[in-house]
A = this chain, B = another copy of it.
Amino acid sequence: MQTAKPIELNGKPAAGGKFPLICTPLTGRTRDQILAEVKVVLGKKPDILEWRVDFFDGIANATEVINVATAIKQAAGNMPLLFTRRSIREGGEKIALTEDEVISLYKAVCESRQVDLVDFEMSNHPAHIALVREASKANDIKLILSFHNFSSTPGSKTLKQRFLQADQLGADIAKVAVMSRNLDDVLTLLSATLAASRTLRIPLISISMGPYGSLTRLFGWAFGSALTFAVGANRSAPGQVPIEDLNTVLAILQKSMNGE
């Protein structure tokens, strides 16, 4: 019954067209920690892994980063891998790189072709966004342009603009993640998601964070969000639910909404 756009990889819908995709973050600080996380997480059968490289101690060494990405892909039986440096400004960890060095890292990682998707924030410098877009496109890697607000939920108009902005900046996927302080915020996010899913040319990801927001992690797909983040081994944002719980709720909801 949903008409939202699925995320495509290599020219076809990821995970055989499963909707929504379940993405689990990897937040280890060392190669060993990360590979141990992969092991735990794999047993829970996510559809995509997100490597939050801002947690990684070796981020300053591009070769080491690429080696770890390669090791993750190998350990995960080629499961799609999303590469993300989340900035401090948008809720990420402190890293020892300048913004120019971050761009070089994204470029090197794209050229290695060891990842399937990269996430880059729309609040970055337009020239940097253009460089990441260029490097990802040249290597057949999907680009998620993202917007995060860890303190509040902007109004519906602003949210819709953020989705649209990602599309206009050439993203393959638009992502908006905001903090909900009350249930009105949850409804605002769901309503903006529904509107954006009808107007955007590209798939979108929408998340409301925090306790109230956990509702959207479970039900946001019905309003058009093509992917939801779930806890495999470690939570990377407030309100993420365990992947087992998410799968249980999705199965019941989809059965109910299909009128079974």
Contacts and interface: CB of A to CB of B under 8 A. Distances in A.
Interface stretch (A81-89, A128-136, A250-258): A250-258
Interface in A82-121: none
Given A1-B211, A223-B183, A256 B218 contact: yes
Interface residues of A, number: 29
B258 A252 contact: no
Interface string A217-260: 11100110000000000000011010001001100110111110
Nearest to A197: B183
A192 to B, nearest CB: 11
Contacts of A211: 1, 256-259
Given A194-B184, A249-B252, A257 B214 contact: yes
27 contacts: A183-B194, A183-B222, A184-B194, A187-B190, A187-B191, A187-B194, A211-B257, A211-B258, A211-B259, A214-B253, A215-B222, A215-B256, A215-B257, A217-B256, A218-B253, A218-B256, A238-B259, A239-B256, A239-B259, A241-B252, A245-B252, A245-B255, A245-B256, A248-B248, A248-B249, A248-B252, A249-B253
